[in-house]
A = this chain, B = another copy of it.
Amino acid sequence: MTDHEIFELGDVILQRGATLRDAQLAYKTYGTLNREKSNAVVYPTRFGGRHTDNEWLIGPGMALDPSEYFVIVPNMLGNGLSSSPSNTPPPYGKARFPRVTVHDNVRAQHRLVTERFDIEKLVLVTGYSMGAQQTFQWGVSYPKMVERMLPFCGSARTSTHNFVFLEGVKAALTADAAFEDGWCDVPPTTGLRAFARVYAGWALSQSFYREGVHLEQGYSSLEDYLIAFWEGNYVAKDANDLLAMIWTWQHADIGATPDFGGSLEAALGAIEAKATVMPGETDLYFPVKDNEYEVSRMPNAELRPIPSIWGHFAGSGRNPEDVRFIDDALKELLGA
């Protein structure tokens, strides 16, 4: 009953030193690779998301039209489909899953693209949130390969404030002793619910709640929204998987790419792709300001904030107006 495929990575030596043995990259493709192999797009997944969560941006008549492009959606390591705490056998599963960086993810994706599909150029790399962080990393790691990029609602380096926000959700989850430092056999549901409730304040904007947009989504009250949407989403997730992805997120930094010596600016300057960088105008943890600085250091980039009160969720595909705005920008960039 899988609707995705697996690329066997073998034993992968990770950026921080551990070896991820028999590593697997789960992915799905949409559309057909043309004979010239000139229509490939890479579209990595977000925090807690899977390839299916990317599909709202793919479809007939949209920029990512499968009749025109070959869209590869690689699942992020840690997301439960690619190698993750929840599916890695001992001794490396659960709390012992090694630290995986955004750089590690993009190296694995590059192997998929080149080894399995023999693709040399990507028309576009795009992604939302942590998918945007992977997009930036693609632009830095493979500048000659990435022709265009459109990272939305994500930054090239996780800011300190964003790091602190993540400390909060982590602390809420792990305050539940049932988590057993990652060795639990039963989900720590109280911690997962707390995680969800903390997250609910961050993912949307003050104005989203002020205008009661949550009530227009089929929820009968604020509490109904917090339980049905937020807790419902996170009680179904694996706690170790979430924490593995959060570690990846907290340490996202294109400056840490080998050869850039920790310099964000040097890494940004190495990006050759034509880029449209799209923060959500009211995003609380990937604010416009971080992208503004990054764009100022990129050779060929435009900043185009998404005018939305949906906060970080402006890039989640839930608000039709935001979807249209992002899709229009993709069409423009792909036409360029």
Contacts and interface: CB of A to CB of B under 8 A. Distances in A.
Interface of A: 159-165, 167-178, 190-191, 193-194, 197-202, 204-210, 212, 222, 226, 284-285, 287, 289-290
Contact of A177 (B177, B201, B209, B212): B177
A95 to B, nearest CB: 17
Contacts of A176: 175-177
Given A161-B205, A206-B284, 17 more contacts: A160-B209, A160-B210, A161-B206, A163-B222, A164-B197, A164-B222, A168-B200, A170-B197, A171-B194, A172-B194, A175-B176, A175-B190, A175-B191, A176-B176, A177-B177, A198-B198, A206-B289
Nearest to A178: B177
A172 B173 CA distance: 7
A285 B169 CA distance: 17
A129 to B, nearest CB: 16
19 contacts: A159-B206, A159-B210, A161-B201, A161-B205, A161-B206, A161-B208, A163-B209, A164-B222, A167-B197, A167-B201, A170-B197, A171-B172, A171-B197, A172-B172, A172-B198, A174-B194, A175-B175, A175-B190, A176-B176
A212 B161 CA distance: 10
Contacts of A159: 206, 209-210
A168 B198 contact: yes
A167 B226 contact: yes
A34 to B, nearest CB: 43
Contacts of A171: 172, 193-194, 197-198
Nearest to A176: B175
A65 to B, nearest CB: 36
A47 to B, nearest CB: 16
A210 B290 contact: yes
Which 8 pairs, one residue from A and one from B, show the smallest C-beta to C-beta distance? Answer: A168-B198, A171-B194, A160-B209, A172-B172, A171-B197, A175-B194, A161-B209, A175-B175
Contacts of A287: 206
A209 B164 contact: yes
